[in-house]
Copies of this chain bind each other. A is one copy, B any other.
Amino acid sequence: MEGTQRGLLLVLSAPSGGGKGTVLKEMFAQDGNLRLSVSATTRPPRPGEVDGQQYYFLSQEEFEQRIASGGMLEYAQYVGHYYGTPRAPVEKWLDEGRDVVLEIEVQGGQQVKKLCPGCVSVFLMPPSMEVLESRLRGRGTEEDAVVRRRLEKAGEEIPHAAQYDYIVYNDRLEDAVADLQAILRAEKRKLERNRDCIERVLSTC
């Protein structure tokens, strides 16, 4: 009835310790139609890292050419290296009807929204700063100073939630996952993605 509807680009951000990894793991376990965008970087691969898995490893020239040709959905520089999202694999998946998740810092999220106005952006919100702190401490391995720094960073990131389309609370894992699934499902029923169906149904008279 609908043919292959183009997939959705889901931009997902959360503050450090916000539990994004756990939520995504569960999403991918439940939804075979979902794909995770792989970032590109100019930093050298670490032992065990495979090109196209953790990152696409590019030279600085390659990366800058891609920027120049509009081949990066977003990018940033961090300690002397580029990090970004190659556009081509994302577009390919979307054309195939896959939904694609872009896990991204709040700064990158703003760039994507400009380049892909059709994307859906979700901020994964910790239920409270106390919970966030206890999650960060729960990792056990972090020094107090590191936890403080991450909390401070989270405090700067959370106000950016006001630039996202949706806010999902990461309180109970199953609720957060169900919320994200509902958002994907509902967005596909939005008028602007279904205008053509009106003529199509009428033409079947």
Q: Which residue of chain B has its CB nearest to the CB of A164?
A: B191
Whether B162 and A128, one on each chain, are in contact in the complex, defined by CB atoms closer than 8 angstroms, is no
| Chain B residues closer than 8 Å to A205, beta-carbon distance | 129, 151, 155
Interface membership of A167, Cβ < 8 A? yes
**A interface, size bucket:** 35 or more
Interface residues of A in 163-196 (CB under 8 A from B): 164-169, 171, 178-179, 181-183, 185-187, 189-191, 194-195
Q: Which residue of chain B has its CB nearest to the CB of A183?
A: B186
Q: From residue A22, how far is it (CB to closest CB) to chain B in Å?
A: 18
Binding site for B on A (CB under 8 A): 1-2, 122, 125-130, 151, 155, 158-159, 161-162, 164-169, 171, 178-179, 181-183, 185-187, 189-191, 194-195, 197-198, 201-202, 204-205
